[in-house]
A and B are shown apart, each in its own frame.
Chain A
Amino acid sequence: MKIFVLVVNRVIWFVPTLLGLLAIVFFISHVIPADPAAFAAGENASAATIAEMRARLGLDQPLHIQFLRYVQSILSGDMGRSIYTGRPVSEDLLSRLPATLELTLVTVVVAALIGVPLGVVSALRRNSWVDHALRFVTIAGLAIASFWFAILLQLFFSMQLGITPLTGRVEGWGPEPITGFYIIDSLINWDMETLLDAFHHLILPVATLALPAAATIVRFTRAGVLNALESNYVLYETAMGYPRSQIVWKYVLRNALIGTVTQIGLIFGILLAGAVVVEAVFDWPGLGMFAVNSILNSDYNAVMGFTLIAGTMFIVVNLLVDILQGLIDPRETR
């Protein structure tokens, strides 16, 4: 199977891409005009103490040596200590990763389940009132600022109606942490109450994030379906009397989804790194909140760690998208 070749090929490319990412993260963080040594030494430290701290952190070494050390330590799983929390950055990140991943995954699934059928309908009913209405909603969905929309949702559903929780992932303590994904953990513990509560807490943040995501998916699916409907194979399938429903939902959709899958991958990556604002509004203990705090505290190692994690996830998602595309489109792999 050539799909195997494709996977190996993409995985090999993963390495230089990751090195590039490391280099960019490293150098950018060194251009920032903030002195981490001064931070680490404390507020009233003397110049001598700061210099000593600089030497201890290795910040007095030439840049390329610093980079090599950096790569070396990353490869051994060491992202350094957070200057702010004092704990290893990798631990901090790993403890927050599941919250963000859970939010992102649920958002992408919801957005795809809503966006794909609506995109198909929009294309089939081109220029009908359905299409026009969807165009309005999708453009609005892309244009609305998510923090504003999030607050609006909170005001209405949580404050006015009181039917959704305002913030957080669950009431009280979460389920026994196994994976850190509350949905999975509560399922493993067979704790239906917590499961429902977790879903309940997901509604508003997912709605906020899924609106622009679904809007993008609707636009791309619509374009893909329209494109496919005008193809020669649809003309042929129509001429040979394949039923319209089969043409649309089997033959057209598979072709249209090639573009949509790429888009879903991009959305996934953007959400992982970009749910910062929404996490802040909903007090969601994920990577986004961690990143914001780290930046505000000039927490050097933490910011680098976050950027690295976000970038890596983006690369991984792209890798998965490539493989998925190979599975959908045989021209990629055979």
Chain B
Amino acid sequence: MESDLIAVRDLRVAFASDAGLAKVLDGVSCSIRPGEIRGLVGESGCGKTTLARAILGILPPNSARIQGGQVLFGGRDLLTVPEAALAREVRGREIAYIPQDPSTAFNPVFTIGTQIADLMHWKSPLLRDPSFRGNARARREADLARVVEWLRLVQLPNPEALLRKYPHEVSGGQRQRLMIAMALLPEPKLVIADEPTTALDVTVQAQILKLLKGLARDRNVAVLFTTHDLGAAYEICDRITVMYAGQEVEEAPVAEFFNRPSHPYTRKLLDSLPSAETGLRGIPGEIPRLIDPPPGCRFNPRCERATEICQQRPPAELAGPGHSVRCHHRLTEFAA
């Protein structure tokens, strides 16, 4: 679609290991519109983080091989943009990142203020402001004012004192608030939040999610939010993409996703949410080895509805209005 902010097309990424090539992303397509908050859900090892890192171009260079596909953003294919240009023009400026574990993402031996100041030195939106051209000092002061304002926006007390502290001197929740502020300070168009609340206390998780959602909404920033926590996805997402073993299997608006799931895997994911009546229920079986995945539909060994065709042919993607699924035996018909 023309209005897409970012479009991933048929992305294939493999990881070299001693046992062979693991196809961690096997033809993933997914697009996000400006200002949209997109959930990317799936079990550990399904390729969520790999997709997030592939978009940013920060896959481990020694082991990861990009075998095909495109990441279209701002009129160009990011996979073909040279590393130096990506670092300078895209990362942190157009596409920002919120890491999984804020306690290890800060550099332990520099103050928070130093790390934010360096970020602003390279990524501040004021760099694009002609009135600060040739006046680095005024820009630094304006940047500092923006930083302090943003620390207030993410509800951090006493911002000036916080900037003088080292990362280990503040709490995990505060560190993640800082990460949110740092992601949004450069005024990016897209924020990639890779399991941003997994490392946090449950009580803090909801606050952080609400904060992220509110700030992104107000500024029309799109968010790609990877999580294995369906509850968290329900809280903040507009649309949800489900990944299974390196492929996206279903994509739907959040209400439709929870009310009328179409892929048997999605159904089982939703069933696995604990409730008072059912208690904890897992999904039998485990995700396939990605070095030699099962033929046909990758979910067929764990699927109750699987028939012969599921073992023979990978299902094509069926798209209804706003809802798409990859399954030979989908659970719902799409509304016309």
Contact = CB atoms under 8 A, between A and B. Distances in A.
B87 A251 contact: no
B110 A242 contact: no
Given A238-B87, A240-B91, A251 B99 contact: no
Nearest to A236: B105
A241 B108 contact: no
Given A236-B99, A241-B93, A334 B169 contact: yes
Contacts of B99: 232, 235-236, 239
A316 B118 CA distance: 37
Contact of B122 (A241, A329, A330, A331): A241
B109 A244 contact: no
A176 interface: no
Contacts of A246: 118
Contacts of B228: none
B109 A239 contact: no
Contacts of A237: 107
Interface in B67-109: 86-88, 90-93, 96-97, 99, 101, 104-109
A231 interface: yes
B88 A241 contact: yes
Interface string A222-245: 000000000111011111111110
Contacts of A334: 166, 168-169
Contacts of A236: 97, 99, 105-106
Given A238-B87, A240-B123, A254-B110, A232 B93 contact: no
Interface of B: 53, 56, 58, 86-88, 90-93, 96-97, 99, 101, 104-111, 118-119, 122-123, 166, 168-169, 182-183, 192
Instruction: In the A-B complex, list the 8 residue pairs whose CB atoms are closest, starting with the nearest.
Output: A241-B91, A241-B92, A239-B97, A232-B104, A240-B92, A236-B105, A330-B166, A233-B107
Interface of A: 231-233, 235-244, 246, 250-251, 254-255, 258, 328-331, 334
22 contacts: A232-B101, A233-B104, A233-B105, A233-B107, A233-B108, A236-B99, A236-B105, A238-B91, A239-B56, A239-B97, A240-B119, A242-B92, A243-B122, A246-B118, A250-B118, A255-B107, A328-B109, A329-B109, A330-B111, A330-B168, A331-B109, A331-B168
